[in-house]
Amino acid sequence: MRFLSIIVLAALGACTAADVQPTEPREEIVAAPAWGFAEQAPALRAQSCPEGVSFRRADSISIRVIEAERGTANARDLHFSGMSLAGAWHLESESGFGGLSGLDVMRSGSLLAIADNGKFVWISIDPDTGAPDGIGSMAYMHDGEGNVWSNKRAADAEGLSFRDGLALVSFEQDYRIEAYDLEGCGAAARAALAERLDPVVDGNRLGGNRGPEALALVGDQLSLGFETHASGGSPVGELSVDGTLNNLRRTEQPALYLLTGMDAADGLIAKIFRAYDPVQGPRGLVRVETAEGLIAEAKLKKPLPVDNYEGIAIGRAPSGQTRIWLISDDNFSNSQRTLLLALDLDPAS
């Protein structure tokens, strides 16, 4: 018995000694540095507009500007808070116009849009009236060799952020950000790869048509939003130099609504969400926020002007008020429209 006790105690001692062995140190995961506009822009300009490539103007187009419905005064009062509907227009043009999915404001106050068939579209805004004046232009985007994108997957442009003549464009199916030096080369600008994106966001692999719909430069960093919805809303984060996202968080919006556009300027963040079901049809939700929280909101549903809103941009009205521009993607369908809305923030906001 004594011998057996000694064996048991020895075994227990061995187990205890094994339990207290120091473990191997774990490798600490360090987040990649943030992607910065000031640092990245010079090289992207040089690549997009290389020596030997001359500036080329986009093709001029005439845009038919048709006044769109604005709904009833009661509907606007009920569904607008902190902003008002200053204008609504239905835009039509030649064959190939449409599919507008990203939007930003140029220095002139006119608008730059992108189409999801791989085009840039310029929409002139009259500085006195703040309305589209029917003048526009359009050009195909080019790849890094100066050729038009060869297929829909490569050309599926969705998000746009424009600063100092450089257009940053996000692509939905082949997840990436391309840069175009429109100021230097105009319609001849070539795609310069800003970053290829990680297809896994918040532990979930992105679906084929659920890529970076929303894109905005917030200060020096590039913020991306995705057209998905899970607990907490759609994922948003800041781009890192390895294509992953930092500071990942989720927007909060009602069920069925998906984030499709985003812009930032003057301490404001503006987002557009869309929803659709066969009973209620298309709907839109506009939110404008500061660091302190929500300051304005618009719920776009009938009898207000509604369609498939995907682009949003922050600009200025002729009065000097902050203006939120919205544009819809007609999907090149005769049953849909390209709608352009102007929403002006209330002075108190």
Q: For 112-163, how does the pLDDT look when each residue is reduced to its tens digit (9 = 90+)?
A: 999 999 999 999 999 999 999 999 999 999 999 999 998 999 999 999 999 9
pLDDT tens, residue by residue, 270-319: 999 999 999 999 999 999 999 999 999 999 999 999 999 999 999 999 99
Q: What are phi and psi of 77, to 5 degrees?
A: -65, -35
**For the chain, what's the residue count?**
349
pLDDT given at position 179: 98
Tell me the average pLDDT across 87-103.
95
pTM of full prediction above 0.85: yes
pLDDT given at position 27: 52
pLDDT given at position 12: 38
Euclidean distance between the first and the last CA atom of the chain, given in angstroms as a whole number:
87
pLDDT given at position 129: 97
Dihedral over alpha carbons 272, 276, 279, 280 (to 10 degrees): 10
Of 50-64, 85-99, 230-244, the poorest mean pLDDT is in 230-244
CB-based contacts of 111: which residues, under 8 Å, 6+ apart? 103, 104, 105, 122, 123, 125, 313, 315, 325, 327, 340
Q: Find tokens 């490798």 and name the residue.
A: 27
pLDDT given at position 185: 98
Band of residue 1 on the pLDDT scale cut at 50, 70, 90? very low
The rounded distance, in Å, linking the Cα atoms of 119 and 122 is: 10
The matching CATH number, chosen from 2.60.40, 2.120.10, 2.50.20, 2.40.160, for 34-345 is 2.120.10
Band of residue 24 on the pLDDT scale cut at 50, 70, 90? low
Please determine, for residue 11, whether its predicted confidence score (pLDDT) is greater than 70: no
- 3-state SS assignment for residue 75: helix
The partner residues of 85 in beta bridges, in order of sequence, read: 343
Band of residue 35 on the pLDDT scale cut at 50, 70, 90? very high
